[in-house]
Amino acid sequence: MSTPTLRQAPVHQHSRILGIGAYRPSVEVTNDDVCQWIDSSDEWIRQRTGIVTRHRAPADVDLIDMAEGAAQEAIAKAGIEAAQLGAVIVSTVTHPYATPSAAALLCDRLGATPAPAYDISAACAGYCYGVAQADALVRSGAAEYVLVVGVEKLSDFIDNSERSISFLLGDGAGAVIVGRSETPGIGPSVWGSDGSKWNTIGMTHSLLDVRDLSEEAERDGAGNAAAVLGTEAKIWPTLRQDGQSVFRWAVWEMAKVAKRALDAAGIEPADLAAFVPHQANMRIIDEMVKQLKLPESVVVARDIADAGNTSAASIPLAAHRLLLENPELSGKLALQIGFGAGLVFGAQVITLP
């Protein structure tokens, strides 16, 4: 008896980003607004971070709303219908449910059911992780079109009175459609992690801490609940970082990752038309430009000035603005790199849509 032969999906050699979309919330928070909560100034924040303002979503706009807005624009620009999506990937660390995924709900809202849908938790590198997976799904024949969304409502997870990270953060969403291409449009992904620095960026409490602290407050009665909360600050988990450690790691290690991505793609810095790094800090961006020895002809994304740090959303938001302001960059090469909590990182050279 002969052994049956499995049929496999046809392999496609190339993929590229076909369309891009963005959602920027309506509420603008200036540095002067931030200084109501921390002892700082507009001048200090501009000098140390490059941030002038950041967008934050109002209470009636949730993470899925922002993701949907960005996704709809990306789908329209790619010239496809939502029903054609072969997968939906959402990169986020601020979906307020451990399960079910944000991606599954977004998929339904868009009319893309029954496409497979899942979330990625890779913080500020999450979008690059999503592009790496979309590239693999398309070229392997598992999907014809893949939606990748980077979306964050970081304002739900900040403590305005602390000054390690909260004043940097904004909300928003960026999305792209990855599909087949006749020519290479996404270079090899250089990605990885360093869990030895796991505590460098993170939350004040785990969900188990929230449970235990809530039970303790309830058990001790209303009289002692305030004392429990006072001892543990706030029960609700909020973000914190060791800013100096993150800055040093980003400046010295991420330029090396970016160079590896260029080498893997067979591209020289002078071949690039644009550089789209994670929008963490303007000084980090400037230092990376120097270390990579990018020529002045390379347009550098500096969306952080108006958007703040939007974690997984920052690269697609920055690329979206770059293309609006410089439409001649469409079809040209860009280096993108994300890095953040984990610590994790990811980079690719892409052809801009």
Cα gap 126→346, rounded to integer Å: 8
How is residue 28 written in tokens?
A: 């603008």
The residue from 124, 128, 205, 320 that is catalytic is 124
The residue from 31, 95, 205, 309 that is catalytic is 309
Active site residue 199: no
The residue from 55, 95, 278, 320 that is catalytic is 278
Active site residue 326: no
The terminus-to-terminus CA distance of the chain in angstroms comes to 51
Using a 10 angstrom Cβ sphere, with 0-12 exposed, 13-18 middle and 19 or more buried, the burial of residue 100 is exposed
Strand partners, 174: 22, 150
Relative orientation angle of helices 63-78 and 102-110, to the nearest 10 degrees:
50
Q: What are phi and psi of 246, to 5 degrees?
A: -65, -45
Contact call for residues 10 and 141 (beta carbons, < 8 A)? yes
Q: What are phi and psi of 239, to 5 degrees?
A: -80, 145
Q: Which residues are catalytic?
A: 124, 278, 309
